[in-house]
Amino acid sequence: MVLDQGNRSLRLRPPRHPLDRRAVAWWRTQLLLTVAAPVAVLGLLGALIAPARFWLLLPAAVIAVPGVLIGVLLPLWWYKVHRWEVTDDAVYVRTGFFWMEGRIAPMSRLQTVDTMRGPVQRIFGLTTVTVTTASARGALKVKGLDHETAAELAERLALVTQATPGDAT
C-alpha cells in the first residue's frame, strides 16, 4: 500500500514482530478443548445408551476427526500470519485466516491500553494487549505475547499516550 504525502509517498510494510511461539500451543489447546466438550458428551451418552450408541458415536467421530485436524494445523497458519509492531508513530497489527486484516492506529488516536490473561493464557505465560482507539472499528488486540513483553508494551504505550498531544477523538 502506498500513501501520498504531498510530494513524497510513504510505503507501508507489514508489521515485523511475530507473536510468542507459545501462542501455537495456546490456540491449539483452546481449539482442542472446544472440540473435546461435545465429543466427550456424545461419547459418554453413547457408552451409556446402548440403543442409540451408533447415533451418538457417529456425530462424535464427525466432530472429532476434523476438529483435531483443525486444532493441530490452524494454529500453525495463524502463527505465520499474525504480526504486530509499535513505532513512534503508530501501532500496527495484522491478523486473519481467510481474510487478512491489517490495522494501524496512530499514537494520537490511542485512548487506553489494557492487558488481559485468561486461565489458559496464564498456563502458557501469555498475555493479550488491547489498545482502545478513537475509532468506530474498535480496539486493536495483540494476542499471544509473552507476559513480560506485554507488560513492557503496555507501559510504553501508556507513556506514549500520555505524552502525545490531543484528546484522541
Find residue 115's DSSP bridge partners: 129
List CB contacts of 33: < 8 A, sequence separation 6 or more.
120
Measured in residues, the chain has a length of 169
DSSP 51: G
pLDDT tops 90 at residue 8: no
**What is the pLDDT averaged over residues 60-79?**
95
C-alpha to C-alpha distances, 123 to 26, 118, 127, nearest whole angstrom: 9, 9, 10
Query: What confidence tens digit (pLDDT) does each residue in 23-63 have?
Result: 999 999 999 999 999 999 999 999 999 999 999 999 999 99
**What is the pLDDT averaged over residues 125-133?**
94
**pTM of the entire structure?**
0.83
* Closest alpha carbon to 69 in 28, 20, 39, 97: 28
Element (H, E) at 55: helix 53-81
